[in-house]
Amino acid sequence: MGNLSMQGKQVYAIADNIINSLGFSTTEVIQQIEAEQTGIYQHEIEAIYPTPFWASLVNNEQLQTQINKEFVGQSVEHYFTRLEQMFLLSIQDVLRQTNIDVKSKRVLIIIATTKGNIDLLEQANRDTWYYEKFAERLDMSYMGDVLQKYFGNPNQPLVVCNACISGVLAINIAQQLLQTEQYDHIIVTGGDLVSEFTLSGFFAFKAVCDGICKPYDQDRTGINLGEGVATVLLTTDAKLAQKYSKIRIGGGGSSNDANHISGPSRTGDGLNIAIQKAFKQAACSAQQIDYVSMHGTGTSYNDEMESKALGLANLLDKPMNSLKAYFGHTLGAAGLMETIVAMASMRKGLLFKSLGYTKHGVSQPIQVIQNTQKHKIDYCLKTASGFGGCNAALVLAKIES
Amino acid sequence: MMKFTQSCRIHEKKIYRNEALFYSDQALDDKTNFKTFIKGAYKYLGQSYPKFFKMDRLSKLGFIAASVLFSDRVLSAYAPEEIAVVMANRHSTLVTDTKHCESIKNREAYFPSPSVFVYTLPNILVGEICIRYGFKGENAFFISNQFDQDFMYQYANLLFQSGETKACLVGWVDYKDEADYSAILHLLET
């Protein structure tokens, strides 16, 4: 507590929002997680996959209701794609929480996504007005411009497209950019959809669970895809930090396994490199960590690799979890969504049960949280890993009041 | 203080290393397609790397660009985790996305394949380079409508300032179609 990191300027997280199957605000989503409620169900949507599949979907009726409530009279659904509507809601909620001026040159938007408006490529959307109207939004940079224009921000948004580490990486990039004199605040937002495109791909990998996923469990068989958007507002303004939040971004890092493009390393050394970088940037040691929020997708290889990485990083005795059984693997949004839940854990002093885990199923004696419980969390480590052998980690710290 | 030390550029069937022509498609026939060109470059480099043939066009383009850049240079002075790779493009993985869509558009002839699907993420090309050269440092992939050298250099500089990155491969690897592709790689070192 009180350690200053390697960075010149302290970076604080002062507002956030999550939109996923569990709700349209961080508060709603956290309520559901506290109640051990999952948003993963079996769905029969032929347009997305020929047979029933278990996934975490944002309810379309509820999305419509929220859109109509927030953007009265703007006919948003005629001008924005489904994913963009979620981005608008999420960013709007965050802006409303602190009243920063999004139109200022001192504010930047960073967007994390793996496939953007990929629903446009669904067969069921071919020859529809939706595809005709929005086809050019498949260009993720253009999608960024559309969001920038809506909010009237003068800076070209950054679009981070780095597989499943995009969300954590975007926070790390924001923290680094806030060290320059250019920006006071950065809105970091991430989103992805459950689509015919991605689901078929994961099924081709035989990586999809026919049920609710079971991270670190002996009987785990794969992932559940999830969709949604998450947004966090980062600032160097210490006054705003005292007013709105108690969380500081301590530091982060990324790495590559340099081993395989779709399978994680067997040793976990790549992820450990990212973790060590995060520790160094945050001037924090393994001993100081109170809780680890990991990627935990529920595949055989990923979860095993993570347990090895925890061993290498001397974190085996730390309470840890994966949140994927609550709202699925949200790809580009995952790192952001899960970091926000970790921040809620820190603020409430509450460790959330790692849903889906009953029988220990990895080689290392990691401490998977089996029951939601009170616990002081001053330092939290968040990790993510993704296709292409990439890894990212970040340290969150509670600031003194 | 970071310095620019090596570069490679690829476009219109020509490859330049440090601005000198390194390889061009000998057949001046315009019908020579990208596939022939990039395979020709691979053979010209004379390095055996069978994984090359599994890559999609985008990864092949990035891989060859890196291979040319490192053809007379080995980064032995740095630890693997000190070497970063930061890339961007405009079209993400458009061609492979289309290929994946073709494999799933007909429920009666439904054949999505993991070896195609894995290449529907642009950062895979970074992974391929990291695997080939053992680079374990910082990774980042951005989507932007053109190569923003100022931003990429600024970001690389921030990585250098952290003290953990000592070399950074920065660049643009984009593939839209046979007539529209380009790679620009710069090596930056402390």
Q: Is the overall model pTM greater than 0.95, yes or no?
A: yes
Q: For position A6, what pLDDT does the model report?
A: 52
Comparing alpha-carbon positions, the chain A residue that sits nearest to B111 is A204
Distance (Å, whole) CA B31 – CA B26: 12
- Per-residue pLDDT, averaged over A233-256, amounts to 93
Judge whether B130 and B66 are in contact, CB under 8 Å: no
Tell me which of A46, A118, A261 to substitute to probe the interface with B (most B C-beta atoms closer than 10 Å): A261
Single-letter amino acid, residue B52: F
Cβ contact (<8 Å) for A6 and B162?
yes
- B 126-155 residues with CB < 8 A to A: 126-128, 130-131, 133-145, 151, 154-155
B9 vs B17: CA distance, rounded Å: 7
> What is the average pLDDT across B167-183?
96
Could you tell me the pLDDT band of residue A7, with boundaries at 50, 70 and 90? low
Q: How confident is the model at residue A242 (pLDDT cuts 50, 70, 90)?
A: confident
Q: Is A203 in CB contact (< 8 Å) with chain B?
A: yes
Whether residue B131 and residue A389 make contact (CB cut-off 8 A), yes or no, is yes
How close B34 comes to chain A (CA, Å)? 23
Alpha helices in A249-333, H assignment, sequence order: 269-282, 300-312, 324-327
pLDDT in tens, B133-172: 999 999 999 999 999 999 999 999 999 999 999 999 999 9
* Residue A263, min C-alpha distance to chain B (Å): 10
Nearest to A270 by CA among A286, A254, A283: A254
Q: Do B124 and A255 touch (CB under 8 A)?
A: no
Residue A41 dihedral angles phi and psi, to the nearest 5°: -135, 165
Tokens, residue A326? 């609550």
Q: Residue A126: phi, psi to the nearest 5?
A: -65, 145
Query: In the predicted model, what is the mean pLDDT of residues B12-31?
Result: 86
Burial of A375 (0-12, 13-18, 19+ CB in 10 A): middle
**Chain A contact probe: residue of B60, B75, B81 with most A CBs at under 10 A:** B81
- pLDDT at res. A99: 87
Residues from chain B that touch A173, judged by Cβ atoms under 8 A, are 140, 155
Tokens (6 digits) for B43 = 């053979």
Predicted confidence (pLDDT) at residue B188 exceeds the cutoff of 90: yes
Phi and psi angles of residue A356, each rounded to the nearest 5 degrees, phi first: 100, -10
Q: For residue A176, which residues of chain B lie inside 8 Å, CB to CB?
A: 155, 158-159, 162
Total count of residues recorded for chain B? 190
Q: Which CATH number fits the domain B3-189, given the four candidates 3.40.30.10, 3.40.47.10, 2.60.120.310, 3.30.1330.20?
A: 3.40.47.10
Q: Is the pLDDT of residue A401 over 80?
A: no
Is the Cβ–Cβ distance between A113 and A192 less than 8 Å?
yes
Average pLDDT over residues A373-393: 98
Three-state DSSP class for residue A288: helix
Quickly count: other Cβ atoms within 10 Å of residue A129's Cβ.
9
Q: Check residue A1 and give its pLDDT.
A: 36
Q: Which amino acid appears at position A295 of this protein?
A: H
Residue A8: pLDDT over 90: no
Q: Which of residues 2-41 of B touch A (CB under 8 A)?
A: none
Mean pLDDT of A187-212: 98
Question: How many angstroms from the chain centroid is the CA of residue B46?
Answer: 18
Answer whether A140 sits within 8 Å of B92, measured CB to CB.
yes
In tens, the pLDDT along A195-206 reads 999 999 999 999
Residue with tokens 């889906």, as numbered in its chain: A356
pLDDT by residue (tens digit) across A307-348?
Answer: 999 999 999 999 999 999 999 999 999 999 999 999 999 999
- The whole-number pLDDT of residue A246 equals 82
Q: pLDDT per residue over A355-382, tens digit each?
A: 999 999 999 999 999 999 999 999 999 9
pLDDT of residue A4: 44
Interface contact flag, A196 B164, Cβ < 8 Å: no
- Secondary-structure breakdown of chain B: helix, strand, coil percentages, each rounded to the nearest 5: 40, 25, 35
Q: Are B65 and B16 in contact (CB under 8 A)?
A: no
Please give the Cα distance from A358 to A368 (Å, whole number). 9
Whether residues A256 and B112 touch (CB distance < 8 A) is answered with no
Say which residue the tokens 């309520």 belong to: A31
Distance CA A344, CA A342 (A): 5
Q: How many Å apart are CA A132 and CA A300, to the nearest integer?
A: 41
Q: What are the backbone dihedrals phi and psi of residue A393, each rounded to the nearest 5 degrees, phi first?
A: -145, 155
Q: What is the mean pLDDT of residues A83-95?
A: 98
Q: Residue B177 is encoded by which pair of tokens? A: 């179609």
Residue A25 phi/psi, 5-degree rounding, is -145, 160
CB contact under 8 A, B117 and A159: no
Q: Which residues of A221-243 are buried (b: 16+ CB within 10 A; e: fewer)?
A: bbbbbbbbbbbbbbbbbeebbee
> Using one digit for the tens of pLDDT, what is the confidence trace for A120-174?
999 999 999 999 999 999 999 999 999 999 999 999 999 999 999 999 999 999 9
Structure tokens at B62: 């990035």
Contact A256 B91 (CB under 8 A): no
The tokens 């009265």 sit on which residue?
A72
> Tell me: the pLDDT tens digits for A273-290?
999 999 999 999 999 999
DSSP-assigned beta bridge partners for residue A308: none
Residue A5 pLDDT > 60 = no
In contact, A334 and A193? CB cutoff 8 Å: no
Identify any residues that bridge with A107 across adjacent strands, giving them in sequence order: A185
Backbone φ and ψ of A298, nearest 5°: 95, 10
For CA atoms A103, A108, A112, A113, give the dihedral sign. positive
**What residue type is assigned to position B85 of the chain?**
V
Of B123, B134, B159, the CB nearest to A390: B123
Binary contact (A160, B121; C-beta < 8 A): no
Residues of A in Cβ contact (< 8 Å) with B117: 200-202, 204-205
Q: How far is the CA of A363 from the CAs of A303, A357, A383, in angstroms?
A: 10, 15, 19
Beta pairing partners, A153: none
The dihedral region occupied by A161, where left means phi > 0, alpha psi between -120 and 50, and beta the remainder, is: beta
**Residues A345 and A290: beta-carbon distance below 8 Å:** no
Residue holding tokens 């590559």? Answer: A256
- Each domain of chain B, given as residue ranges in start order, spans 3-189
CB-nearest partner of A159 from B127, B144, B155: B144
Q: Is A353 helix (H, G, I), strand (E, B) or coil?
A: coil
Q: What is the ipTM of this complex?
A: 0.97
**Whether residue B29 has pLDDT greater than 90:** no
- Among A284, A298, A238, A308, CA closest to A381: A284
Task: List phi, psi (to 5°) of A260.
Answer: -155, 145
Of B113, B124, B140, the CB nearest to A160: B140
Task: Inform me whether the pLDDT recorded for A94 exceeds 80.
Answer: yes
